Structure 1
Amino acid sequence: MRYLETSLILSLILLATVTSNAQEITRKSTNNLNISEKYFVLKADKQTKHGQYLSYYSDYLFEDYIIEFGDYENNLKTGRWFSFYHRDPSNFLKAAGEYVEGNKEGAWSYYYMDDSVTLFTSFGTQKTTRIIKPKKASERYQFEISPEKYKMSSAGKYSENAKIGIWEYYSLSGKLMHVYDHTANKLLENNHKQPDSTMIFLGGLDRFYNYYRSAQHDTKLQKPIDITEPTQAIYEIGEDGNYKLVTGYGNKEFLEHADKIMRAVPQEWINQDGVAKMNVQITYTANYPKNEKKAPFYINLKFVEIRKK
């Protein structure tokens, strides 16, 4: 089951149809911290989104990077939606799929961030997207994308926002890593055995770190955190299947930042042999004492034996 060809064809569609019920809606615009929104609302209350929606980030060189593109119906997402890595200079496609009454439904595809961006090419020259503004207020925005460099990370189906049935998970190099049945909660195919651990992240660590990098971009700090004391946060997978902070000390802002990142990374660790023998620890350690040659903090993954109660 491969969704690549279908999803790329769908993502190339120029959404150029004129918004319906134009006499009942009016266009609205907002701008906050360089993030702009262009959308339609009902004339009756001017708060209910109804019609096309576009959000994008503008950098200091006035380059526009798409965040989301789709349609609303009475404040609920509907039809095909596209989301993008807006802090990535390439503005790669992040995900494409359908919404029905605000819920993800049917086939969805997810993609990796660009891993080839350098400082030399990071000022708008790597962009794979272009926003086409309408000539009339009643017409829709359009966008174009160049998908030749895109790399799929996962693909499958949703029902009411929950993954169902068979999903495929890929590495950054394009290798099919895992096939997982989310209805039966069963690993059907494993092409990347980890002999040192029973725990695996669906798609491998490429996919885990892609979510981590994306979350880092999306939670980019308005001002640097001033680390004045030893600081660390350690997470494990709790009994409820969610990430659980087991140790956290030091700078409060740092701990809050780490928590935002963890909430953005899906908890898709599974036991590859079906027996829970090990757990994963995800450790965030701050750069203290401060060293300008090192990143503000670093992350480590470690597999540990599950403690017996």
Structure 2
Amino acid sequence: MIHLKAEDLIASELEANFHFHHKLKYWTIVHNHDFYEIFMITEGTVTHIVNDIRQTLFKGDLILIRPEDVHSYERYEDQDVALLNINFHSNAISSAFRYLGEDFFAERLQRIGSLPPQVRLSVEQIQYIWRKYEQIAAIPMECAAEACSVIRGLLIYLLNEHFFPAAIPAAKPGMPEWLSILQLEMQKKENFSEGIPALYRLANKTPEHLSRTILKHLGKTPTIWINELRLQYSVHLLKHSTIDIVTIALDCGFNSLSHYYKSFQMTYYTTPGKFRSANQKLAIPQ
């Protein structure tokens, strides 16, 4: 196993470096490092071995590797893979944590011995990160301060948008790691609004196995779980926006206003309109 060091790879004035691997070899050497790494699969599929656990990664998977995580890659069947690798000096990560809150990821991020944090990106999110990479690559070498500012902005975006700890459910004893990741993915609006099709696509499990596992560990059916996520988001919009109730219902994924009203009343024992009247808080008085 190789131990990589930040002092050998990362320029101190930039606090990060980027590598685009257009095509990996059949396998890579097992390694760990004293810095943080965020990598994104931009094309193809690959087998990722991390902390003695084998996982299959697909286009759009974004992984945060922590110091001392041990990992390597192997070719998946006959498929090629391309990935964007971003290495962040630990000092940069520490500064970001202080900015976002001292307890940011205190437990989840630092816990070694399980799969590191992982999310599945949309096509638009992949393109956004890639554009940032191109922007940074185009900054002249003598403009290190400018490049460092853009890199820090990207780091804050990645942590806050994709690895925010409040959105990462605490794994219950015995819960499969893939279900913990699925919980995080289904909290994204584009996924819970799509509903069951998104759940099946992201889980990559048979519907029967998925339903049994969700019922066992979450204590509810997939449909009830998704409706809860939709209702929670609708509550936020009712309290903090002036969007009309019909638009809220459709935007959250309910296929009809009557379905939304029935689900809302069963959960909150009141109507969306009455809830809004009692709880709405706006920064601009109406």
On whether the aligned pair clears a TM of 0.5, the verdict is no
Higher helix residue share: 2
TM range (shorter): under 0.3
- In the superposition, the TM-score normalised over structure 2's length comes to 0.27
Higher relative contact order (CA closer than 8 Å, sequence separation 6+): 2
